[in-house]
Structure 1
Amino acid sequence: MTLRIGMVAGEPSGDLLAARAIRGVMQHAPDSRCEGIGGPAMRKQGFNALHPMDTLSVFGYVDALKRLPSLLSTYSNVKKHWLSQRPDVFVGIDAPDFNLRLELQLRQAGIPTVHFVGPSIWAWRYERIHKIREAVSHMLVLFPFEEEIYQKENIPVTYVGHPLAELIPMEPNRDAARRYLKVDTGARVLALMPGSRASEIKLLGPRFLQAVQLLARQDPTLQVLVPMVNGHRRREFEALLREYPVPNCRIIEQATAATPALAAVFGTLDSDAYFDGRPAAWNVMQAADAVLVASGTATLEAALFKRPLVISYVLSPMMKRLMSWKSGQARPYVPWVGLPNVLARDFVVPELLQEDATPQALAEATWKALSDTPYAQQVVQRFHAIHESLWRDTPTLAAKVILEQARHASN
Structure 2
Amino acid sequence: MSLRVGMVAGEPSGDLLASRVMQGIARQAAGSRCEGIGGPAMQEQGFEMWRPMHALTVFGYADAIGRLPSLLNTYFSVKRRWLRQVPDVFVGVDAPDFNLRLEHQLKQAGVPTVHFVGPSIWAWRYERIHKIRAAVSHMLVLFPFEEAIYQKEGVPVTYVGHPLAEVIPMQPDRLAARARLGLAPDVRVLALMPGSRASEIRLLAPRFLEAAQRLLGQDPTLQILVPMVNASRRREFQALLQRHPVANLRILDQAELSRPIAWDAMEAADAVLVASGTATLEAALFKRPMVISYVLSPAMRRLMQWKSGQSGPSLPWVGLPNVLLNDFAVPELLQDAATPEALAAATWTALTDITGAQTLVQRFTALHRSLWRDTPTLAAQAIIGEAMHGAR
Mapped partners of 2:12, 2:230: distance in 1: 14
The alignment-based identity, stated in percent, is 72
Match of 1:281 among 262, 274, 277: 262
Mapped partners of 1:50, 1:245: distance in 2: 45
Which amino acid is the alignment partner of residue 230 of structure 1?
N
Partner residue in 1 for 2:173: 173
Give, in angstroms, the shift of residue 234 of structure 1: 1.4
After superposition, residues 202-217 of structure 1 pair within 5 angstroms as: 202-217=202-217
Give, in angstroms, the shift of residue 336 of structure 1: 0.3
Partner residue in 2 for 1:71: 71
- The secondary structure found in structure 2 opposite 1:79 is helix
Mapped partners of 1:236, 1:64: distance in 2: 21
What's the CA shift string for 1:364-391, capped at 9, x where partnerless? 1000000010011111111111101000
Partner residue in 1 for 2:34: 34
Which amino acid is the alignment partner of residue 165 of structure 1?
A
Mapped partners of 2:78, 2:206: distance in 1: 43
Give, in angstroms, the shift of residue 3 of structure 1: 1.4
Partner residue in 1 for 2:237: 237
Give, in angstroms, the shift of residue 301 of structure 1: 0.5
Mapped partners of 2:25, 2:285: distance in 1: 27
What's the CA shift string for 1:123-146, capped at 9, x where partnerless? 000000001111100000000000
Give, in angstroms, the shift of residue 409 of structure 1: 2.8
**Are 2:273 and 1:292 equivalent residues in the alignment?**
yes
Partner residue in 1 for 2:339: 358
Which runs of no fewer than 5 residues in structure 2 stay unpaired?
Answer: none
TM-score by length of structure 1 reads 0.94
Mapped partners of 2:98, 2:390: distance in 1: 23
Mapped partners of 1:369, 1:234: distance in 2: 26
Partner residue in 2 for 1:255: 255
Mapped partners of 2:131, 2:226: distance in 1: 41
**Are 2:116 and 1:135 equivalent residues in the alignment?**
no
Which amino acid is the alignment partner of residue 376 of structure 1?
A
Partner residue in 2 for 1:184: 184
After superposition, residues 15-30 of structure 1 pair within 5 angstroms as: 15-30=15-30
Match of 2:368 among 383, 387, 405: 387
Give, in angstroms, the shift of residue 2 of structure 1: 3.2
Partner residue in 2 for 1:106: 106
Partner residue in 2 for 1:4: 4
Partner residue in 2 for 1:313: 294
- The secondary structure found in structure 1 opposite 2:255 is coil
Which amino acid is the alignment partner of residue 93 of structure 2?
I
What's the CA shift string for 1:13-43, capped at 9, x where partnerless? 1111111111100001111111111111111
- The secondary structure found in structure 2 opposite 1:91 is strand
Partner residue in 1 for 2:147: 147
What's the CA shift string for 1:192-212, capped at 9, x where partnerless? 111111111111111111111
Mapped partners of 2:134, 2:238: distance in 1: 48
Mapped partners of 1:2, 1:295: distance in 2: 41
What's the CA shift string for 1:52-99, capped at 9, x where partnerless? 111111111111111101111111111111111001111111000010
Which runs of no fewer than 5 residues in structure 1 stay unpaired?
Answer: 257-275
Which consecutive segments of 4 or more residues in structure 1 shift more than 4 A? Answer: none
- The secondary structure found in structure 1 opposite 2:50 is strand
What's the CA shift string for 1:337-389, capped at 9, x where partnerless? 00000000000000000000011110110000000100111111111111010
Measured on the aligned residues, the alpha-carbon RMSD in Å equals 1.0
Give, in angstroms, the shift of residue 110 of structure 1: 1.0
Match of 1:342 among 323, 346, 354: 323
- Using the TM superposition, name which of 375-384 and 129-138 deviates more: 375-384
Give, in angstroms, the shift of residue 277 of structure 1: 2.5
What's the CA shift string for 1:133-171, capped at 9, x where partnerless? 111000000000000000111110000000000110001
Match of 2:314 among 299, 312, 333: 333
Count of matched residue positions in the alignment of Structure 1 and Structure 2: 391
Mapped partners of 2:239, 2:57: distance in 1: 27
